[in-house]
Amino acid sequence: MSESKPKVAFYWCSSCGGCEESIVDLGADILKVVAAVDIVYWPVALDFKKKDLEAMPDGSIAVSFINGGIRMSEQEEMAHLLRRKSGLIVAHGACAHLGGIPGLANFWNKSTIFRKVYHTTVSTDNPAGTEPALKSTVDGHELTLPEFWDTVHPLDDIIDVDYYLPGCAPHRDLIINAVTAILEGKLPPKGAVLAPNKSCCDDCDRNDTKPEKLTIKEIKRPHEVLLDPKTCFLAQGVICMGPATRGGCGERCIHGNMPCRGCMGPSDQVRDQGAKFLSAFASLLDASDEKEVERLVDSIVDPAGTFYRFSLPSSILRRKKMEAIQ
Partner 1 sequence: MSQESFEPRLVGFLCTWCSYTGADLAGTARMTYPSNLRIIRVMCSGRVDPQFVLKAFEEGADGVLISGCHPGDCHYQEGNIKALRRHRLLSRVLEQMGIEKKRFRLEWVSASEGIKFQQVCQEFTEQVRALGPLNLNGHGGNSHE
Binding interface with partner 1 (CB under 8 A): 107, 270-272, 274-276, 278-279, 281-283, 285, 287-290, 293-294, 297-298, 300, 302-305, 307, 315-325
CA diameter of the chain: 72
CB closer to partner 1, 33 vs 282? 282
Shortest separation between residue 166's beta carbon and partner 1, angstroms: 20
State the Cα–Cα distance between residues 43 and 63, nearest whole angstrom.
16
CB closer to partner 1, 162 vs 272? 272
H or E element at residue 81: helix 73-85
Shortest separation between residue 275's beta carbon and partner 1, angstroms: 4
Residues 6+ apart with CB under 8 A from 129: 118, 119
DSSP for 106-117, written as a single string: GGS-HHHHHHII
Number of Cβ within 10 Å of residue 143's Cβ equals: 11
CB closer to partner 1, 85 vs 319? 319
Shortest separation between residue 99's beta carbon and partner 1, angstroms: 14
CB closer to partner 1, 72 vs 278? 278
Shortest separation between residue 304's beta carbon and partner 1, angstroms: 4
Shortest separation between residue 174's beta carbon and partner 1, angstroms: 26
State the Cα–Cα distance between residues 93 and 164, nearest whole angstrom.
8
Shortest separation between residue 106's beta carbon and partner 1, angstroms: 9
For the purposes of burial, counting CB atoms within 10 Å of the CB of 316, is it exposed (0-12), middle (13-18) or buried (19 or more)? Answer: exposed
State the Cα–Cα distance between residues 112 and 291, nearest whole angstrom.
35
Query: For 250-263, b where at least 16 C-beta lie within 10 A, e where not — what string?
Result: ebebbeeeebbbbb
CB closer to partner 1, 77 vs 286? 286
CB closer to partner 1, 126 vs 283? 283
Residues 6+ apart with CB under 8 A from 1: 38
CB closer to partner 1, 34 vs 317? 317
Shortest separation between residue 82's beta carbon and partner 1, angstroms: 28
Closest by CA position to 99, among listed 314, 320, 318, 317: 314
Closest by CA position to 167, among listed 270, 258, 92: 92
